[in-house]
Structures are given as structure tokens and as C-alpha cells.
Amino acid sequence: MTLTPGPLSGATSDGRGPAPVIAARRLVKTYGMGDAVVHALAGVDLTVEVGDYVAIMGSSGSGKSTLMNILGCLDVPTTGRYLLDGIDVGGLDERQLSLVRNRKIGFIFQSFNLVPRTTAVAQVELPLAYAGVKAAERRRRAMAALTMVGLADRAEHKPNELSGGQQQRVAVARALVTSPAMLLADEPTGNLDSHSTKEVLGIVDRLNASGRTVVLITHEDEVAHHAKRVIRLVDGLIVSDVRQAPVAGPPPALEAAAAGPAHGELTQGGVR
């Protein structure tokens, strides 16, 4: 199986090759003060190569979401450095941060976080609108993204008219519509049944196969089996870091289904 995610094929997990997409050093996040202080992150070092597929696991309260929010530029660490694509995020101003969130990161929340009373297609168009894409082009790309997640026929539905799985697929379409280099997902399947979980993970797998870097949080081993690398957090520290498949190859779940009929689709995960 020779599925090469473009120019990144030379990247290896030993840290050599092109600059890592995520390079976090001694990330610390504390909440509260005095006796009530909580160390949500107690000094996390994390490097993620371009094209990698990382699952973060750990018990409740171990700091997974805290880490993810910092990686997604939704929150800032108390101390520590975070380089995204080689850029020190701590040095960016408000405007630059919104650009980074818009162009580089696609974030998927456990609770979907769709804008209320807004149709699916308008929902997916939003990041493009903020990026300044023209209306016609926007509609075209939004529909392409919705088609990719299998929701073209639900484009005019509002969140309250969609099932949980469908809402999460709209959220996935919204996250990938700007073709970000990195997809971050905080328990994307936490609220979904096994069928919807399979659908959403299938989409994420194909996105990774096409070269996107994926980091997702999960509690379920089945979900973690889809990742190339599994990290475990305990009390705000990384306690294990296991590689299940090489960065350069396809995600394990797709490899298992190798030579399957879906092969042709794998390379066209993008929506541009």
C-alpha cells in the first residue's frame, strides 16, 4: 500500500524531517489559587509530526480537554511554550490568533457546539465567511464538505432538526471545510452510538489518510485503535506514548480494510 500524503512522505516519528506541526514544551495549566489550586497540566511535552494520528486517553479529570484546548488555541497555558507549525502561539495577538484558529485548526467538540438556529450549510459556511471567501465559492465548498460527510440532503436543516450523529458530522464538515492542516477532536464520538461513531471515525480516518494531522481524545479503546499513536495522561502528565502504526502510512483501520473498495476514495479527502 503506497499511500503517500504528498510532500510529507519523508517524515518519521523520530523527530527528524520537516518541522513538527505541534511542539509543546513543559505546558503547565493551573486553576484556582492557594489551597484550592488544581494542576490540570503539570508539565506536558508533546511533539506531533505532520500526518500523524494521535489518540489521547486518560481518566476523567486527567487534563485531556485542557491540553486539547491549548493545542487548539482556545485557551492559553499558565506557563510553557507551544509552537504550532513552528510559530510560537504565545507571541500572537488576538487578530493573528483568530487567523490561526480559522486557517490552521479544525476543532471538533464533544458537544458539537453548532451555532443555534442556523442551517447546516450556513454553519459550514461560517469559517469560510470569516476567512473572507466569496458567497458563491463558499456555498460550493460548504456543499462539498457536507457531501463528504454524507449530509448533502440535510443542508437546510437546523441543529434541532438533526440527530446527534448528524450534528457531529456537520461539526466535522465545519472543521474540515477550510482544509486546515490539523484536526483536533475532543471526544468526537462521546455522545454518539456505535453506528454514528463508525461513520464519524471513517471520515476522520480518510482525512488523515489524505495528509491531515489528527489529534483526538477518547475514552474508548475501539476509537483508539484507529490512531497511529496513543498517549495516556494521568494527573496532567504523559505516562505512556505508544506508536501503533508509522506516521507515513495509512491509519491502521484503513490498512486493515486494505485493498477494500474504498481505496479510490482515500486520496480525495480534501474539499478544495
Ligand X SMILES: Nc1ncnc2c1ncn2[C@@H]1O[C@H](COP(=O)(O)OP(=O)(O)OP(=O)(O)O)[C@@H](O)[C@H]1O
Cβ-based nearer residue to another protein, 141 or 174: 174
Residue span binding another protein (CB under 8 A) among the ranges 1-9, 102-110, 160-168, 230-238: 102-110
Among 13, 75, 87, 225, binds another protein (CB under 8 A): 75
Three-state DSSP class for residue 183: strand
List Cβ neighbours of 234 (8 Å cut-off, separation of 6 or more): 58, 59, 62
136 in contact with another protein (CB under 8 A): no
Residue span binding ligand X (CB under 6 A) among the ranges 55-63, 91-99, 124-132, 195-203: 55-63
260 in contact with ligand X (CB under 6 A): no
Under a CB-based contact definition with an 8 Å cutoff, are residues 210 and 270 in contact? yes
212 in contact with ligand X (CB under 6 A): no
Nearest to 113 by CA among 204, 56, 185: 185
Cβ-based nearer residue to another protein, 184 or 248: 184
40 in contact with ligand X (CB under 6 A): yes
Least separation in angstroms between CB 101 and another protein: 4
In a 13 Å sphere around the CA of 50, the CA atoms on its Cβ side amount to 22
Among 63, 106, 211, 249, binds ligand X (CB under 6 A): 63
Instruction: Give the binding-site size for ligand X (rule: CB under 6 A).
Output: 12
127 in contact with another protein (CB under 8 A): yes
Q: Produce one character per residue of 237-255: b if its CB has 16 or more CB atoms within 10 Å, e if not.
A: bbeeeeeebebbbbbbbbb
CA atoms of 79 and 42, how far apart (whole Å) = 10
